[in-house]
Amino acid sequence: MQHYIQSKVAALFVVALAATAVPCAYGQNTPTPAATVRVAKGLPPRANPSEYLSHAQAGSVTIGAEFDRHSVPTVESILTTEDFVVVEVGLFGAANAHLTVSSADFGLRINGKKTPLPVEQYAAVFKNLRDPSYDAPELKAAKENKENSNGINSGGANQSDLGSTPPPIHIPPAMERAMGEHVQAAALPEGDRILPVAGLLFFRYGGTDKSVHSVELVYIGPAGKTSVILQP
């Protein structure tokens, strides 16, 4: 898992540097100084659809996608969520081509279910975000208490396994706010867009990674209709 997180962070960092070095490569306008509010601006698109693990054609648009499971790859870091799964998607077309983009045009079929999961708005994920690198003081205190209790009761006293239930984690408000902003910024941008455009899609699914045997991203929108078979 640690190797997977490091690889995703490195990939996003390289793509972000490339996008910064060529700000007008895809015909996008340079943001004005007044644009200080965080919006869903998406992730830097990769060089072409083949750089995603899977891709498929919808009319003149090529959709590249990867199933990130319960990981949430943002430009700043890789977060996690227990109750949602994430798909990173990129939409590609001819030079300066426009497309009306909507996350609602996508669905996710897991394990061959007849009805695809509907997409969820990024705000639904905010309260379920976790940073794997965050060393929660609650967990540290619980570990110390358990070690002390085991030392005191090492004589074989009959008692329950202290600390077997993880304590609730209280994330600092500033950290919670920053995570939400990062996810909002990484979500797939919507509206009339110049291609390519890329970002994250969110689907509510609380199953474990091992419970996912097949994944299919379904698209029905202005570009046409297609499905992308993803690697679970």
Does a structural domain hold residue 183? yes
State the pTM of this model.
Answer: 0.74
Round to the nearest angstrom and report the end-to-end CA distance of the chain.
Answer: 14
131-141 pLDDT, tens digit per residue, is 998 876 655 55
**Residue at 186 is within a domain:** yes
CATH number of the domain where residue 91 is located:
2.60.40
Q: What is the pLDDT of residue 135?
A: 75
29 is a domain residue: no
Number of domains in the chain: 1
- pLDDT at position 153 is 53
Across the chain, the runs of DSSP E, i.e. the strands, are 54-58, 61-67, 71-73, 78-81, 84-92, 98-101, 106-110, 117-120, 129-130, 191-194, 197-204, 215-221, 224-230
Can you give the residue range of the structural domain that contains 44?
Answer: 2-20+38-132+170-230
Residue 179 included in any domain: yes
Does residue 91 lie in a domain region? Answer: yes
Residues 32-77: tens digit of each pLDDT: 333 334 567 899 999 999 999 999 999 999 999 999 999 999 999 9
Give pLDDT, residue 147.
61
150, part of any domain: no
Q: Is residue 146 part of a domain?
A: no
For residue 106, the model assigns a pLDDT of 98
Residues of the chain with pLDDT under 70: 1-39, 136-169
